[in-house]
Chains A and B, each alone.
Chain A
Amino acid sequence: MLDYLWLIPALPLAGFLVLVVAGRRLGEPLAGWIATVMAASSFVVTAAVFLALLGEPEEERRAVDVLFSWIPAGSFQVDAALLADPLSVAMALFVTGIGSLIHLYSIGYMHGDRDYTKFFVYLNLFVFSMLMLVLGENMLVTFLGWEGVGVCSYLLISFWHTRESAATAGKKAFVTNRIGDVGFMLAIFLTFSTVGSISYLELNEAAAELSSTTAAAIALLLFVGACGKSAQLPLYVWLPDAMEGPTPVSALIHAATMVTAGVYLMTRVNPLLHEVEWVGTTIAVVGVGTALFAATIAVAQNDIKKVLAYSTISQLGYMFLAVGSGAYVAAVFHMITHAFFKALLFLGSGSVIHGMHDEQDMRYMGALRKFMPITFGTFVIGWLAIAGVPPFAGFWSKDEILLFAYDKSVVLWAIGIVTALLTAYYMTRQVVMVFYGEARWDDPRDAHASSPGDEAVADHAGGPGRRPHESPWLMLTPLVVLALLSIVGGVMQLPFENLHFLEEWLHPVVEEGERVLASGTKDIKWILAGVAAAVAFLGIGLAWLVYERKKVRAIEPKVLAHAWYVDEGVAAFVDGPGRAAFQAIADGDQGLVDGAVNGTAGAVARAGAGLRRFQSGAVRNYGLGIAIGAVALLAWFVSRGLL
């Protein structure tokens, strides 16, 4: 079965090509079904590869499939090769699995859209790129996928490009990601010049022999790339705006798969990170800082998708905390469970938006549990999972991360716990605002302060008096499946003896870098788990009191609603000192560079004006000149005795 590894990315690519050529003729809904079938068959092949690998003994679970020699240039040899090992196959499994579900959902969600087929063209291209990213055997193939998902992300964020805000958000995502990509590229260059190859296997083997400076430089440059793609401080700014895209896109790209690429990359090179302790610490600090920072913002957002976007950034922060703490299994574990419940929440919010006739502002929702029972039921499961309530999937993965964070530093653990409290709080706030309380969807618009997304929403919103409705089964099926996965997802890796399935599976890949817990930490792991669960209930209870019972006044400071004024700050900085600096540089350019060029030209012009006098136009003057010259030349030769 491993011989058919190439089929995994080839199937979505085939779907992409078919839809590019014949998409318009196929139309709705056939184009959507073709795309879905391609993604689903890719999932089937991945599952077969997974089973084939499972049948091998542990140390032989690795297969490289060289498709062709891509760049044979002297000592720089790059193959277009795919790598199947426990990590890449685990990633491919959930990418194709969740990807198929979201394709299915999109058939219903994008119903009636003008660019229905184009959406699926992009979606299939995305799945292909993402699979190249995770299955790449060397950094360049990964980079190809990395840029591919970036392009798809750009195209899908600005899918409704006639809307100014969507087009701008796409550009923002693209430009911000470029900054990270430069880091990735420099890492590739540095790897080649020091290791002599950009294959992951060779890099990881050579990791121990690299000087600590080189190892740290490569790791940090890769981390810069990861920060861009996975929306970590300070390159997170594009992700909240990316919510301008259709909701299935937010679920697939900006929650479940693409944004986890950075975590995947870090896990892939874990032997390298293992070499230098302080790099891990840096990553952990950035991760936990992002987690807390984004969680505080999520507390005061009113757009249903913005809450989830900041929540995603926060959860990605957890994953980087895990990576930095050397808990690669926990990072992948949380990546997968997060993909389940965050895709569920996004698709649920999409269902709500769909049912509310394109309303996104939670202040105009409420009491939806009676109108959308299935969406409500699944959303609640997602909510409990992300809040960290046992025994839902999110509890187990978050608990494992916090355990390792505690082992590294109590401070990291404490910040993680505070973030967990905030997570439970803002998610409860969202559930209450959307599904509980009294119905507010007929409220006059000016009753609440307007938010940036309002005009866009108003275009689509139906008039007052239209009742919310439950979504079609095409959209509900993925919700139910994801809800089931969010409940049982924790089974992959339970903190009991002999139930560490994921750890055993990933062991060959992460054995170099995985942190060994101190025995003191192991002893109190149940206490830590208890604290985490208690904190989750505390957060839920607090938010319940504030928003459902309304016993406590809500604290939603303006500074949080404006996301700490980061965007405004950047805009002010670029517009003020930034503009002045660029103006100064432009002036300097005009004075110095242009001055030198213009000065030279001016000198030549003046010299020319002086020399014009000799061009009299009279033939006899020229003749005289020639004669004098000839005589002078002759005289010179004679005087030197040359003649």
Chain B
Amino acid sequence: MMLAALEPTPSWYLVLAALLFTIGAVGVLVRRNPLVMFMCIELMLNAVNLSFVSLASALDDVSGQTVVFFVLVVAAAEVVVGLGIVVAIQRRRPGATADDLAALKG
């Protein structure tokens, strides 16, 4: 009975997604290592994915899951480009942090 009371509801997943998203967002804002920031962005993306999936299941609507596929594909492409940039930066300026990369300062 207690276990039944602990049956996860869609809100749980949404709360989890919100938590993951917050961790990711804070990570982007506070970390200076480009690679870690990159991982945080992935975390945010996947938090959104999680909320899509859970809502799709709760509302019994498959379109939410469809969107997730799109996000996965785009994220994969983005990883390729992003990691390439990170590697290139690390080659030119070993140990550079995100704050060091301010060439576009107005």
Contact = CB atoms under 8 A, between A and B. Distances in A.
B106 A617 contact: yes
Interface string A599-643: 000000000000111111111100110010000000000000000
Nearest to B41: A623
Interface in B52-106: 98-99, 101-106
Contacts of A614: 106
Given A623-B28, A623-B29, A616 B105 contact: yes
A612 B28 contact: no
The secondary-structure label for the interface of chain A is helix
Contact of B102 (A612, A613, A617, A624): A617
Contact of A615 (B29, B30, B32, B104): B104
> Interface size bucket, B side?
10 to 19
Contacts of A615: 104-106
A252 B30 CA distance: 95
Contacts of A619: 37, 98, 101
Contacts of A618: 98-99, 101-102, 105
B35 interface: no
A620 B106 contact: no
B102 A616 contact: yes
A616 B100 CA distance: 11
B25 interface: yes
A620 B105 contact: no
> Interface size bucket, A side?
10 to 19
A351 B19 CA distance: 111
Contacts of B99: 618, 620
A449 to B, nearest CB: 75
Contacts of B102: 616-618
Contacts of B25: 623, 627
A620 B28 contact: yes
B104 A620 contact: no
A623 B26 CA distance: 10
Nearest to A615: B106
Contacts of A611: 106
B95 to A, nearest CB: 17
Contact of A627 (B29, B32, B37, B98): B29
A620 B30 CA distance: 8
Nearest to A631: B25
Contacts of B98: 618-620
A613 B99 CA distance: 16
A612 B32 contact: no
Nearest to B27: A623
Nearest to B102: A617
A608 to B, nearest CB: 9
A288 B8 CA distance: 114
Contacts of A613: 106
Contacts of A627: 25, 29
Interface in A125-175: none
Given A618-B98, A619-B98, A620-B29, A612 B37 contact: no
A630 to B, nearest CB: 9
Contacts of A623: 25, 28-29
Contacts of B37: 619-620
Contacts of B103: 617
Contacts of B32: 620
A624 B32 CA distance: 13
A249 B37 CA distance: 90
Nearest to B105: A617
Interface string B6-44: 000000000000000000010011101000010000000
Nearest to B30: A620
Contact of A617 (B28, B30, B104): B104
A619 B37 CA distance: 10
A283 to B, nearest CB: 73
Contacts of B30: 620
A376 B101 CA distance: 100
Nearest to B25: A627
A284 to B, nearest CB: 77
Nearest to B28: A623
Nearest to B26: A627
B59 to A, nearest CB: 17
Contacts of A616: 102, 105-106
A614 B106 CA distance: 8
Given A618-B98, A619-B37, A620-B99, A612 B106 contact: yes
A333 to B, nearest CB: 85
B64 to A, nearest CB: 18
A437 to B, nearest CB: 91
Max count, chain B CB within 10 A of own CB: residue among A614, A620, A624: A620
Nearest to B31: A620
B14 to A, nearest CB: 14
Minimum-distance CB pairs A-B, first 5: A615-B106, A617-B105, A617-B102, A612-B106, A617-B104
Interface of B: 25, 28-30, 32, 37, 98-99, 101-106
Given A615-B106, A619-B37, 6 more contacts: A617-B102, A617-B106, A618-B105, A620-B32, A620-B37, A627-B29
16 contacts: A611-B106, A613-B106, A614-B106, A616-B102, A616-B105, A616-B106, A617-B102, A617-B103, A617-B104, A617-B105, A617-B106, A619-B98, A623-B25, A623-B28, A623-B29, A627-B25
